[in-house]
Amino acid sequence: MDKIVSTYYATVQDMPGKEYKVEILQDGIIKKIAVNGKVYDVDYNVGGDMIHSIIINNRSHGVQISANSFNSYEVKNHGNSFQIQIMNELERIRSKSSEPEVMGRYLVAAPMPGVIMKFYVKEGDVVKKNDPLCVLLAMKMENEIRAASDGKVSKIFVEEQAKVEIGEKLMVVDPVGK
């Protein structure tokens, strides 16, 4: 078992609710990194225009990385662009403790433009916090939208395969017992 040198947590803006645990297991010319428990051997070189040649398990990837702000990066790979936030363990604990608890009735809205691929729930279903509600396809990626708290789905505004815009109403979840 490798000793963990450092641990980081990464979130991708277009994948709400999904977090990646990144552990540096070996730091050197070739790094050994675990992402959610899966281990990779990683080597990289920085070229012009912030192009990084990253070799993961002997496979090369040309990736453009640019810093947006503190711990926030834009990563471009094969024409796709991702906004990534990186936090160490202390920053993660602080951010989790500052998240407001959702109580009462709440509206589930589209976090980005896309297409609703499928619903996991229907009107009248009871859900628990973090239960998957639906899948939103955006930029060729499937994003699960999850319940912010326990409740009962009282109204669904769109159908499967519907195109939605950012902020568009998807459904309403009422407190259980209402």
Identity of the highest mean pLDDT range in 51-55, 64-68, 158-162, 164-168: 158-162
| pLDDT exceeds cutoff 70 at 79 | yes
Of the residues 96, 120, 148, the one at which a domain ends: 96
Over its C-alpha atoms, the chain yields an Rg (Å, rounded) of: 19
Residue 31 is predicted with a pLDDT of 85
More confident of the two residues 80 and 96: 80
The rounded distance, in Å, linking the Cα atoms of 132 and 144 is: 6
Domain range for 142 is: 106-174
Residues 92 and 150 in one domain: no
**CA distance readout (Å), 166 to 32, 54, 75, 89, 148:** 38, 33, 22, 31, 18
Tell me the DSSP string of 118-153.
Answer: EES--TT-EE-TT-EEEEEEETTEEEEEE-SSSEEE
Calculate the average pLDDT of the chain. Answer: 84
Q: What is the edge-to-edge ordering of all strands in the sheet holding 151-156?
A: 106-109, 169-174, 151-156, 126-127
Predicted confidence band of residue 49 (pLDDT cuts 50, 70, 90):
low
CA 57 to chain centre: 24
| pLDDT exceeds cutoff 70 at 16 | no
User: How long is the chain?
Assistant: 178
Residues 129 and 53 in one domain: no
Residues 91 and 110 in one domain: no
| pLDDT exceeds cutoff 90 at 159 | yes
CA 112 to chain centre: 12
Indicate whether 10 belongs to any domain.
yes
Average pLDDT of the residues in 95-102: 60
Global pTM reads 0.51
Place of tokens 């675990």: 34
Of the residues 96, 124, 154, the one at which a domain ends: 96
Q: Is 8 left (phi over 0), alpha (psi -120 to 50) or beta?
A: beta
Indicate whether 48 belongs to any domain.
yes
| pLDDT exceeds cutoff 60 at 178 | no
Residue 13 is predicted with a pLDDT of 77
